[in-house]
Amino acid sequence: ATLSLSKQGPGTVTAADIKTDHNVEILNNDHVICHLTKDTAINMRLKIERGFGYQPAAARRRPDEETRTIGRLVLDASFSPVRRVAYAVESARVEQRTDLDKLVLDIETNGTIDAEEAVRTAADILSDQLSVFGDFTHRDRGAAKPASNGVDPVLLRPIDDLELTVRSANCLKAESIYYIGDLIQKTEVELL
Protein backbone atom coordinates (compact mmCIF):
# COMPACT_ATOMS: atom_id res chain seq x y z
CA ALA A 1 0.00 0.00 0.00
CA THR A 2 1.17 3.52 -0.70
CA LEU A 3 0.14 6.19 1.80
CA SER A 4 0.68 9.93 1.74
CA LEU A 5 1.53 12.59 4.30
CA SER A 6 1.20 16.31 3.64
CA LYS A 7 1.27 19.03 6.27
CA GLN A 8 1.99 22.74 6.40
CA GLY A 9 3.97 24.15 9.35
CA PRO A 10 4.58 25.34 11.92
CA GLY A 11 3.47 22.41 14.08
CA THR A 12 4.00 18.81 15.04
CA VAL A 13 3.55 16.06 12.46
CA THR A 14 2.10 12.86 13.94
CA ALA A 15 1.00 9.52 12.53
CA ALA A 16 -2.58 10.83 12.58
CA ASP A 17 -1.61 13.13 9.68
CA ILE A 18 -0.98 10.13 7.39
CA LYS A 19 -3.79 9.61 4.88
CA THR A 20 -4.62 5.90 4.89
CA ASP A 21 -6.82 3.69 2.78
CA HIS A 22 -9.28 1.12 4.12
CA ASN A 23 -6.62 -1.65 4.15
CA VAL A 24 -4.26 0.10 6.58
CA GLU A 25 -4.78 0.88 10.26
CA ILE A 26 -2.40 3.09 12.20
CA LEU A 27 -2.01 1.72 15.71
CA ASN A 28 -0.49 4.78 17.39
CA ASN A 29 -1.88 8.03 15.97
CA ASP A 30 0.04 10.03 18.60
CA HIS A 31 3.47 8.92 17.34
CA VAL A 32 5.51 12.05 16.53
CA ILE A 33 7.18 11.95 13.11
CA CYS A 34 8.75 15.42 13.09
CA HIS A 35 8.32 19.07 14.11
CA LEU A 36 7.86 21.74 11.44
CA THR A 37 9.22 25.17 12.29
CA LYS A 38 8.26 28.38 10.55
CA ASP A 39 6.13 28.24 7.45
CA THR A 40 7.45 24.99 5.93
CA ALA A 41 5.74 21.97 4.46
CA ILE A 42 6.31 18.24 4.33
CA ASN A 43 5.10 15.99 1.53
CA MET A 44 5.78 12.26 1.64
CA ARG A 45 4.68 9.08 -0.04
CA LEU A 46 5.11 6.02 2.15
CA LYS A 47 5.26 2.49 0.77
CA ILE A 48 4.00 -0.04 3.32
CA GLU A 49 4.88 -3.74 2.95
CA ARG A 50 4.22 -6.95 4.84
CA GLY A 51 7.15 -9.03 6.00
CA PHE A 52 8.81 -10.63 9.00
CA GLY A 53 11.98 -10.18 10.96
CA TYR A 54 14.51 -7.45 10.21
CA GLN A 55 15.51 -6.40 6.70
CA PRO A 56 18.28 -3.84 6.13
CA ALA A 57 17.71 -1.17 3.47
CA ALA A 58 20.49 -2.61 1.27
CA ALA A 59 18.65 -5.94 1.07
CA ARG A 60 15.37 -4.22 0.17
CA ARG A 61 16.67 -2.26 -2.84
CA ARG A 62 15.20 -3.19 -6.19
CA PRO A 63 16.88 -3.19 -9.64
CA ASP A 64 14.75 -0.26 -10.83
CA GLU A 65 16.01 1.96 -7.97
CA GLU A 66 18.62 3.63 -10.19
CA THR A 67 15.90 5.27 -12.30
CA ARG A 68 13.89 6.58 -9.33
CA THR A 69 13.65 10.25 -8.51
CA ILE A 70 16.06 12.01 -6.19
CA GLY A 71 14.80 12.21 -2.65
CA ARG A 72 13.73 8.59 -2.37
CA LEU A 73 14.82 7.14 0.96
CA VAL A 74 14.79 3.40 1.63
CA LEU A 75 14.78 2.57 5.34
CA ASP A 76 15.64 -0.54 7.31
CA ALA A 77 12.49 -2.48 8.15
CA SER A 78 11.64 -4.20 11.39
CA PHE A 79 8.51 -6.24 10.81
CA SER A 80 8.62 -7.97 14.19
CA PRO A 81 5.61 -7.19 16.38
CA VAL A 82 7.59 -8.33 19.43
CA ARG A 83 9.25 -5.48 21.32
CA ARG A 84 10.74 -7.30 24.30
CA VAL A 85 11.07 -10.86 25.58
CA ALA A 86 12.32 -12.01 28.97
CA TYR A 87 12.33 -15.53 30.33
CA ALA A 88 12.95 -17.29 33.60
CA VAL A 89 13.22 -20.96 34.50
CA GLU A 90 11.67 -21.70 37.87
CA SER A 91 11.27 -24.83 39.93
CA ALA A 92 7.91 -26.51 39.60
CA ARG A 93 6.06 -29.16 41.53
CA VAL A 94 3.46 -31.59 40.27
CA GLU A 95 2.00 -33.71 43.04
CA GLN A 96 5.02 -35.37 44.72
CA ARG A 97 7.55 -34.60 41.94
CA THR A 98 9.74 -31.61 42.72
CA ASP A 99 12.43 -32.12 40.07
CA LEU A 100 10.51 -30.28 37.35
CA ASP A 101 11.13 -26.89 35.75
CA LYS A 102 8.70 -24.25 34.56
CA LEU A 103 9.47 -21.76 31.78
CA VAL A 104 8.03 -18.29 32.38
CA LEU A 105 7.92 -15.97 29.35
CA ASP A 106 7.33 -12.21 29.59
CA ILE A 107 6.51 -10.94 26.09
CA GLU A 108 5.70 -7.36 25.07
CA THR A 109 4.28 -6.75 21.59
CA ASN A 110 3.36 -3.64 19.62
CA GLY A 111 -0.33 -4.55 19.71
CA THR A 112 -0.70 -6.05 16.24
CA ILE A 113 -0.76 -9.55 17.76
CA ASP A 114 -1.00 -10.76 21.33
CA ALA A 115 1.82 -12.52 23.18
CA GLU A 116 0.24 -15.97 22.86
CA GLU A 117 0.01 -15.64 19.08
CA ALA A 118 3.64 -14.44 18.96
CA VAL A 119 4.80 -17.60 20.78
CA ARG A 120 2.66 -19.79 18.53
CA THR A 121 4.08 -18.15 15.38
CA ALA A 122 7.65 -18.41 16.70
CA ALA A 123 7.12 -22.11 17.42
CA ASP A 124 5.82 -22.66 13.88
CA ILE A 125 8.82 -20.86 12.38
CA LEU A 126 11.24 -22.86 14.54
CA SER A 127 9.51 -26.12 13.60
CA ASP A 128 9.78 -25.22 9.90
CA GLN A 129 13.47 -24.37 10.27
CA LEU A 130 14.20 -27.66 12.07
CA SER A 131 12.24 -29.74 9.56
CA VAL A 132 15.39 -30.16 7.45
CA PHE A 133 16.71 -32.45 10.20
CA GLY A 134 13.63 -34.67 10.31
CA ASP A 135 9.94 -34.67 11.09
CA PHE A 136 9.50 -33.43 14.66
CA THR A 137 5.74 -32.99 14.49
CA HIS A 138 3.38 -35.27 16.38
CA ARG A 139 6.16 -37.33 17.93
CA ASP A 140 5.19 -39.04 21.19
CA ARG A 141 8.35 -39.24 23.28
CA GLY A 142 6.84 -41.36 26.03
CA ALA A 143 5.58 -44.38 24.13
CA ALA A 144 7.81 -46.75 22.23
CA LYS A 145 6.61 -47.29 18.69
CA PRO A 146 6.96 -50.72 17.13
CA ALA A 147 9.31 -50.84 14.18
CA SER A 148 7.92 -51.54 10.73
CA ASN A 149 9.03 -55.17 11.03
CA GLY A 150 7.02 -55.66 14.25
CA VAL A 151 10.04 -55.64 16.61
CA ASP A 152 9.63 -53.60 19.77
CA PRO A 153 12.33 -50.86 19.73
CA VAL A 154 13.02 -51.48 23.43
CA LEU A 155 14.51 -54.83 22.45
CA LEU A 156 17.06 -53.02 20.26
CA ARG A 157 18.36 -50.87 23.10
CA PRO A 158 21.82 -51.73 24.45
CA ILE A 159 22.11 -53.35 27.87
CA ASP A 160 24.12 -50.31 29.00
CA ASP A 161 20.78 -48.48 29.15
CA LEU A 162 19.72 -50.77 32.01
CA GLU A 163 22.20 -49.08 34.38
CA LEU A 164 23.49 -52.40 35.70
CA THR A 165 26.53 -52.69 37.93
CA VAL A 166 29.83 -52.90 36.07
CA ARG A 167 30.25 -56.53 37.07
CA SER A 168 26.77 -57.52 35.83
CA ALA A 169 27.25 -55.68 32.53
CA ASN A 170 30.65 -57.32 31.98
CA CYS A 171 29.20 -60.79 32.67
CA LEU A 172 26.48 -60.23 30.07
CA LYS A 173 28.97 -58.96 27.49
CA ALA A 174 31.20 -61.98 28.16
CA GLU A 175 28.23 -64.14 27.11
CA SER A 176 27.75 -62.00 23.92
CA ILE A 177 24.63 -60.32 25.28
CA TYR A 178 24.74 -56.73 24.04
CA TYR A 179 21.07 -55.84 23.59
CA ILE A 180 17.95 -56.23 25.71
CA GLY A 181 16.56 -58.49 22.98
CA ASP A 182 19.56 -60.82 23.45
CA LEU A 183 18.94 -60.90 27.19
CA ILE A 184 15.27 -61.85 27.09
CA GLN A 185 15.97 -64.80 24.79
CA LYS A 186 18.04 -66.49 27.51
CA THR A 187 16.43 -68.74 30.09
CA GLU A 188 17.08 -68.34 33.79
CA VAL A 189 19.25 -71.48 33.77
CA GLU A 190 21.38 -70.13 30.89
CA LEU A 191 21.97 -66.89 32.78
CA LEU A 192 23.16 -68.70 35.92
Q: What is the pLDDT of residue 145?
A: 53
Q: Are 28 and 15 in contact (CB under 8 A)?
A: yes
Q: What is the pLDDT of residue 51?
A: 80
CATH superfamily name and code, 82-133:
RNA polymerase, RBP11-like subunit (3.30.1360.10)
pTM: 0.47
Query: Of the CATH numbers 2.170.120.12, 1.10.530.10, 3.30.565.10, 3.30.470.10, which one belongs to the domain with range 2-78?
Result: 2.170.120.12
Distance CA 145, CA 158 (A): 17
**Which of 59, 99, 94 is closest to 79 using CA atoms?**
59
In single-letter form, the type of residue at position 163 comes to E
Q: What is the pLDDT of residue 107?
A: 93
CATH superfamily name and code, 153-191:
5' to 3' exonuclease, C-terminal subdomain (1.10.150.20)
Beta strands in 24-163 (DSSP E): 32-36, 41-47, 54-55, 77-78, 82-94, 97-109
In single-letter form, the type of residue at position 171 comes to C
Averaged pLDDT, groups of 10, the chain, 192 residues long: 88 92 86 90 86 80 66 81 91 83 91 88 86 63 53 80 84 84 82 74
User: What 8-state DSSP symbol labels residue 179?
Assistant: B
Q: What is the pLDDT of residue 89?
A: 93
Question: What residue spans define the domains of the chain?
Answer: 2-78, 82-133, 153-191
Distance CA 122, CA 165 (A): 45
Q: Are 107 and 123 in contact (CB under 8 A)?
A: no
Q: Are 167 and 159 in contact (CB under 8 A)?
A: no
Distance CA 192, CA 187 (A): 9
Q: What is the pLDDT of residue 52?
A: 75
Q: What is the pLDDT of residue 148?
A: 53
Q: What is the pLDDT of residue 17?
A: 92
**Which of 116, 120, 97, 98 is closest to 107 using CA atoms?**
116
Q: What is the pLDDT of residue 45?
A: 87
- What does DSSP say about strands 32-36 and 82-94: parallel, antiparallel, or unpaired? unpaired
Q: Are 1 and 22 in contact (CB under 8 A)?
A: no
